[in-house]
């Protein structure tokens, strides 16, 4: 019993000694930690003065240009291209000549139609004389009514032939005028698809040869996608966009220079 109590006392002494040592160690470390904390620099926090000013919110979107008018140029008559009057990318005005077709076949056709018209007019003049003569004779009873009727029918027939020949002359003149292919609208020429010396098909069918395309440049539409939230915020506020920027630089707003500016950018 005495030995057991002695062992317990020794254990208590050891535990107390360990506690004292641990406490003493912690107390000795505190000055070091305080000294280390004292050496850390004070952090610098940037500050700014609060001011009040008016802000104009802006938004940037990627879009593309589109012309409201685009016309594919085709010839109304077929033939051989004699000359191309405008280079690609150039600006043309309505009525300006773009291509010229060899007019020789159409000039021959016009002369033929004019000759047929003269022949029809001569025949009509003779038919009028015959009718007037038959009209006088039938009144005196010298000829029968059948002779009169035949003369009247011949006169009317010759008159119709004259009108038909006149229409043929007008058609030949129109075809001859179509040998000068002109711009139907003012705008800028796209790629020229044919060169001088080529035989092209004409007419109003789908077989006609495409020559080039003209796009209008005044005005131009800019299409871009706008998210619904921004659209609803702008709706009813009568706000618009006044600056047209491309690659960080303002795009010229003169209608005549926009497409030319884009073409120069693409070529460079």
Per-10-residue mean pLDDT, the chain, length 268: 45 46 50 57 82 78 85 95 93 95 97 98 96 89 88 96 98 97 95 95 88 89 78 60 62 53 52
Residues 170 and 115 in one domain: yes
What per-residue confidence (pLDDT) applies to 34? 54
Task: Say which DSSP state 179 is in.
Answer: T
In a domain, 185, yes or no: yes
Residues 97 and 107 in one domain: no
What per-residue confidence (pLDDT) applies to 251? 63
**How far is Cα 260 from Cα 233, in angstroms, rounded to an integer?**
35
Q: Count Cβ neighbours within 10 Å for each residue of 95-112 and write b for 16 or more, e otherwise.
A: eeebbbbebebbeebbee
Q: Is 192 helix (H, G, I), strand (E, B) or coil?
A: coil
**How far is Cα 68 from Cα 136, in angstroms, rounded to an integer?**
68
What per-residue confidence (pLDDT) applies to 37? 54
* Domain end residue (candidates: 149, 178, 207): 178
Q: What are phi and psi of 246, to 5 degrees?
A: -135, 120
Residues 152 and 201 in one domain: no
What per-residue confidence (pLDDT) applies to 46? 84
Residues 195 and 236 in one domain: no
What per-residue confidence (pLDDT) applies to 264? 58
Residues 138 and 205 in one domain: no
What per-residue confidence (pLDDT) applies to 256? 46
Can you give the pTM of this predicted structure? 0.63
CATH number for the domain spanning 132: value is 1.10.287.470
Query: H or E stretch including 224?
Result: strand 221-224
How many other β-carbons are positioned within 10 Å of the β-carbon of residue 5?
9
What per-residue confidence (pLDDT) applies to 150? 93
Q: Give the length of the chain.
A: 268
Residues 144 and 168 in one domain: yes
**How far is Cα 53 from Cα 47, in angstroms, rounded to an integer?**
18
In a domain, 35, yes or no: no
Q: What are phi and psi of 89, to 5 degrees?
A: 85, -5
């Amino acid at each position: 019993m005495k030995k057991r109590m002695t062992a317990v006392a020794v254990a208590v002494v050891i535990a107390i000694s360990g506690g004292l040592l641990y406490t003493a160690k912690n107390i000795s470390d505190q000055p070091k930690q305080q000294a280390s904390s004292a050496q850390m620099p004070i952090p610098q926090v940037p500050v700014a003065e609060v001011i009040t000013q008016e802000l104009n919110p802006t938004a940037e979107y990627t879009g593309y240009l589109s012309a409201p008018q685009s016309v594919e140029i085709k010839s109304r008559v077929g033939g051989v291209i004699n000359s191309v009057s405008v280079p690609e990318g150039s600006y043309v005005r309505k009525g300006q000549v773009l291509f010229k077709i060899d007019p020789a076949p159409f000039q021959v056709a016009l002369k033929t139609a004019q000759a047929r018209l003269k022949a029809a007019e001569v025949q009509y003049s003779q038919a009028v004389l015959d009718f007037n003569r038959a009209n006088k004779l039938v009144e005196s009873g010298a000829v029968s009514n059948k002779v009169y009727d035949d003369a009247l029918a011949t006169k009317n027939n010759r008159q119709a032939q004259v009108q038909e020949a006149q229409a043929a002359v007008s058609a030949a003149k129109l075809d001859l005028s179509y040998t000068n292919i002109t711009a139907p609208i003012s705008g800028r020429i796209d790629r020229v698809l044919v060169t001088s010396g080529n035989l092209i098909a004409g007419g109003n069918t789908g077989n006609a040869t495409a020559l080039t395309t003209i796009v209008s440049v005044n005005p131009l539409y800019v299409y871009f996608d706008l998210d619904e939230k921004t659209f609803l915020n702008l709706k009813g506020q009568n706000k618009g966009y006044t600056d047209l920027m491309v690659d960080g630089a303002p795009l010229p707003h003169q209608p005549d220079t926009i497409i030319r500016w884009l073409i120069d950018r693409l070529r460079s």
